[in-house]
C-alpha cells in the first residue's frame, strides 16, 4: 500500500488525556466496590463483585470510545449498534469474570494468571470489536507486530493490577486508598496503552467505493452514551463514599456502645447510668427506667433529666409560661402502671409530648422498660439513634440482671435463710462497728442473747415444721418490738443475739424482758445481757452476755440475767 494513499489522522490531546483519566477512574471505582465485597458474603458479595465488573467494563469501554472521538479524520464516521453493544458486553464480562476469581478467599497462582489472561484478552477483544464497529468510507490496515504488542500490554496490565488486588486484600495493611489508586492507575494506563498502541497499529485508506457509510450510532449519540457511562462510574464512587461513611458511623456507634457497656459493668447505680447514657444519645428531655418485678409489676427505679423545678420560664417570644419538668414523667409512670403492658415504639402524650418505649429483655425474659420522653411532638426517631438505644437496652438488660443477681447473692450471704434475720457473720461485723462507735462517742452499748427454752422438746412434741414456724414467728415478734437502731440476728439454732446502741444495762434488761413476753405460741425464752466495758473485746463482750444466758437457764429458765450477775427479772 503506497504511503501516500493513507489518510491523514490526528488526535485531540484533551480527549486523549480524558480517556486515560476515565480508564483510571473506572478502575478505581471497580476496585473500591471489590474492596467492599471482602467484608460481605452471600448475595451482597456477589452483587458488589458484579457491580465492580460493570463499573470496570464501563470504564474500559468509555476509555476506548473517548479515544475514538479523539481521532480526527477527514470523513464522517458512525458506529454499528450491535458491535458497540457487543464491545460493552465483552468488557463487562471480562472484568466481572476476572474480579470474581481474584476475590475468592484463596487465589492460586494459576487462577490469577488465567484471570489476568482472560481480562487482558477481553480488553483487547473489546477494542478491536469497537474498531470493527466503525462505519466510514475507509478501510483499516493493521501492523501485526503492533497488534500483538497491544494485546501483550493489555494482558500484562491486567495481570499486574489483579496481582496488586490480591496482594492488598490479603496483607495486614489492607485495602488503603494509596494501594487502590496504584492498582487503578496501572490498569488504566495499561488499558490506554493497549488502545493507543492498537491505534498506532492501524492505517486508514480511502475505500475504492465512495458510497456513504451505513447509518449507525452517530458521534453525538456516542457522546450521550459516554456521559451515561461516566455518570454510572461517578454513582459507584458516590455509593462507595456513602457506604464508607455509613460504616464509619456504624463503627463509631459500636465503639460508643462498647464504651457505655464498659461503663455499665461497674456495679452500683446501674439504672441511673443507663438512663443518663440513653438520654445523652437520644437527646430526650427525660428517661425513665421501670424495672419488672417477679410478680410482673413495674416500678420506676431510675431516671435522668427529671427535675422538680417548676418555676415559670420565658418562651422564645418573651411571654412567661409555666413549665413542669416532672409532669410528663409522672404521666409516663401512670401509663406504665395502668396499661400493664407497654408497647414498644412512639406514643403521643398530652401537652405535645412524645414517649418512646424500649423493652429490656434477656433470654425472652423482660427485665424492664425504658421510657424516653421528648416534650415536643416527633414522628420518627432516626434509625441510627434507634439502633443505639436498642444496643444500650440490650447491654442494660444484662447489667441490671447481673446487679439483681449480685444483690440477691449479697442478701443471701447476709441473711439467715429460715428467719430472714441477719446471720452470725454480719452480726460480728456490726458488733465491731458498734463497739468502735460507742467508744468514739462515749455512749453505752449493750448486747443480749435470747434462747428458746426447751426447744428440742417443742420440736419432738409438735414436729420440726412447727419448730421452724416458732423460730420464724419469734423472729418477727421480737423484731417488731425493737427500736429502728437495734439489730437482731440469728446466732445459731434456737439462739438469737441483739445489739442495742445507746442502751444501759438496766435498759437492756427491760428490752430483753419485753422480748421474752412477746415470745409466741406459748413458748418461753431465757436471756443474758451485758454492757460494754473498757477492757472488752468483741468476743469477751458476747461471752459475758452468754454467761448471763447460762445463768438464766441454770436458775430456772424464762428469765433475764446480766453477765456474771444475779438474775434480773420483772
Q: Could you list the pLDDT tens digit for every one of the 570 residues in the chain?
A: 444 455 555 567 777 888 788 778 777 777 766 666 655 566 666 776 777 777 777 777 777 777 777 777 767 777 787 888 888 888 888 888 887 777 776 777 888 888 888 888 888 888 888 888 888 777 888 888 988 998 888 888 888 877 877 776 655 455 567 777 777 788 788 888 888 888 888 888 877 654 555 565 555 555 555 556 555 655 655 555 555 555 555 666 666 666 666 666 665 677 888 888 888 888 888 888 888 777 677 777 888 886 543 333 333 333 333 344 445 565 666 666 555 556 778 777 767 778 888 888 888 888 888 888 888 888 888 777 787 788 788 877 887 777 777 777 777 677 888 888 988 888 999 999 999 999 999 999 999 999 999 999 998 899 989 999 999 999 999 999 999 999 999 998 899 999 999 999 999 999 999 999 999 999 999 999 999 998 899 999 999 999 999 999 999 999 999 975 444 444
Same domain, 204 and 302: no
418 within a domain of the structure (yes/no): no
Same domain, 202 and 338: no
The residue among 216, 233, 250 that closes a domain is: 233
Same domain, 107 and 150: yes
Same domain, 29 and 61: yes
301 within a domain of the structure (yes/no): yes
- The 3 state secondary structure assigned to 348-409 is EECCCEEEEEEEEEECCEEEEEEEEEECCCCCCCCHHHHHHHHHHHHHHHHHHHHHHHHHHH
Same domain, 375 and 464: no
Domain ranges, residue 437: 424-562
265 within a domain of the structure (yes/no): no
Same domain, 513 and 388: no
243 within a domain of the structure (yes/no): no
* Rg over CA atoms, the chain: 44
87 within a domain of the structure (yes/no): yes
The residue among 409, 436, 451 that closes a domain is: 409
Same domain, 146 and 34: yes
User: Cα–chain-centroid distance for residue 383?
Assistant: 13
Quote the cell numbers at residue 40.
Answer: 460481605
**Beta carbons of 307 and 325 less than 8 angstroms apart:** yes
CATH of the domain at 368: 3.30.450.40
532 within a domain of the structure (yes/no): yes
155 within a domain of the structure (yes/no): yes
Same domain, 224 and 93: yes
Same domain, 347 and 388: yes
Same domain, 76 and 163: yes
The residue among 346, 378, 409 that closes a domain is: 409
CATH of the domain at 452: 3.30.70.270
Structural domain tally of the chain? Answer: 3
Same domain, 284 and 165: no
Q: Is the dihedral of CA 253, 254, 257, 262 positive or negative?
A: negative
168 within a domain of the structure (yes/no): yes
Amino acid at each position: 500500500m503506497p504511503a501516500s494513499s493513507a489518510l491523514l489522522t490526528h488526535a485531540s490531546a484533551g480527549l486523549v488525556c480524558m480517556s486515560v483519566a476515565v480508564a483510571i477512574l473506572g478502575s478505581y471505582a471497580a476496585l473500591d466496590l471489590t474492596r467492599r465485597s471482602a467484608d460481605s458474603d452471600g448475595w451482597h458479595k456477589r452483587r458488589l463483585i458484579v457491580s465492580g465488573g460493570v463499573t470496570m467494563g464501563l470504564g474500559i469501554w468509555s476509555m476506548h470510545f473517548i479515544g475514538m472521538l479523539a481521532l480526527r479524520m477527514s470523513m464522517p464516521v458512525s458506529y454499528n449498534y450491535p458491535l458497540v453493544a457487543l464491545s460493552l458486553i465483552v468488557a463487562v464480562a471480562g472484568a466481572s469474570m476476572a474480579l470474581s476469581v481474584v476475590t475468592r478467599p484463596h487465589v492460586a497462582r494459576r487462577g490469577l494468571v488465567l484471570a489476568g489472561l482472560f481480562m487482558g484478552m477481553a480488553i483487547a477483544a473489546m477494542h478491536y470489536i469497537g474498531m470493527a464497529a466503525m462505519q466510514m468510507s475507509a478501510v483499516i490496515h493493521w501492523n501485526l507486530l503492533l497488534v500483538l504488542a497491544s494485546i501483550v500490554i493489555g494482558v500484562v496490565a491486567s495481570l499486574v493490577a489483579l496481582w496488586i488486588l490480591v496482594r492488598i486484600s490479603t496483607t495486614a495493611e489492607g485495602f488503603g486508598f494509596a494501594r487502590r489508586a496504584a492498582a487503578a492507575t496501572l490498569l488504566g494506563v495499561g488499558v490506554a496503552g493497549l488502545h493507543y498502541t492498537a491505534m498506532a497499529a492501524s492505517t486508514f485508506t480511502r475505500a475504492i467505493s465512495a458510497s456513504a457509510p451505513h447509518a449507525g450510532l452517530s458521534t453525538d449519540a456516542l457522546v450521550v452514551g459516554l456521559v451515561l457511562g461516566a455518570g454510572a462510574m461517578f454513582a459507584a464512587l458516590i455509593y462507595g463514599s456513602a457506604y464508607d461513611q455509613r460504616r464509619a458511623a456504624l463503627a463509631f456507634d459500636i465503639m460508643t456502645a462498647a464504651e457505655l457497656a464498659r461503663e455499665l459493668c461497674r456495679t452500683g447505680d446501674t439504672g441511673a447510668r443507663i438512663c443518663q447514657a440513653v438520654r445523652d444519645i437520644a437527646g430526650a428531655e427525660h428517661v425513665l427506667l421501670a424495672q419488672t418485678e417477679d410478680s410482673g409489676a413495674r416500678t420506676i427505679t431510675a431516671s435522668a433529666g427529671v427535675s422538680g423545678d417548676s418555676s415559670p420560664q420565658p418562651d422564645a417570644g418573651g411571654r412567661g409560661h409555666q413549665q413542669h419538668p416532672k409532669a410528663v414523667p409522672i404521666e409516663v409512670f401512670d401509663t406504665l402502671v395502668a396499661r400493664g403492658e407497654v408497647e414498644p415504639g412512639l406514643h403521643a402524650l398530652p401537652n405535645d409530648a412524645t414517649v418512646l418505649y424500649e423493652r429490656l429483655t434477656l433470654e425472652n425474659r423482660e427485665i424492664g422498660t425504658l421510657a424516653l420522653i421528648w416534650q415536643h411532638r416527633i414522628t420518627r426517631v432516626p434509625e441510627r439513634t434507634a439502633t443505639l438505644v436498642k444496643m444500650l437496652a440490650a447491654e442494660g438488660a444484662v447489667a441490671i440482671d447481673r446487679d439483681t443477681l449480685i444483690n440477691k447473692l449479697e442478701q443471701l450471704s447476709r441473711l439467715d435463710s429460715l428467719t430472714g434475720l441477719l446471720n452470725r457473720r454480719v452480726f460480728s461485723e456490726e458488733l465491731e462497728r458498734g463497739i468502735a462507735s460507742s467508744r468514739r462517742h462515749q455512749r453505752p452499748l449493750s448486747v443480749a442473747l435470747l434462747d428458746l427454752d426447751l426447744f428440742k422438746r417443742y420440736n419432738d412434741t409438735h414436729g420440726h415444721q412447727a419448730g421452724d414456724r416458732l423460730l420464724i414467728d419469734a423472729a418477727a415478734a421480737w423484731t417488731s418490738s425493737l427500736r429502728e437502731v437495734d439489730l437482731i440476728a440469728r446466732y445459731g439454732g434456737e439462739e438469737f443475739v441483739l445489739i442495742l446502741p445507746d442502751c444501759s444495762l438496766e435498759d437492756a434488761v427491760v428490752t430483753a424482758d419485753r422480748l421474752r413476753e412477746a415470745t409466741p405460741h406459748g413458748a418461753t425464752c431465757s436471756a443474758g445481757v451485758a454492757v460494754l466495758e473498757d477492757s472488752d473485746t468483741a468476743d469477751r463482750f458476747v461471752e459475758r452476755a452468754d454467761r448471763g444466758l447460762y445463768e438464766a437457764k441454770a436458775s430456772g429458765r424464762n428469765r433475764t440475767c446480766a453477765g456474771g450477775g444475779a438474775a434480773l427479772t420483772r
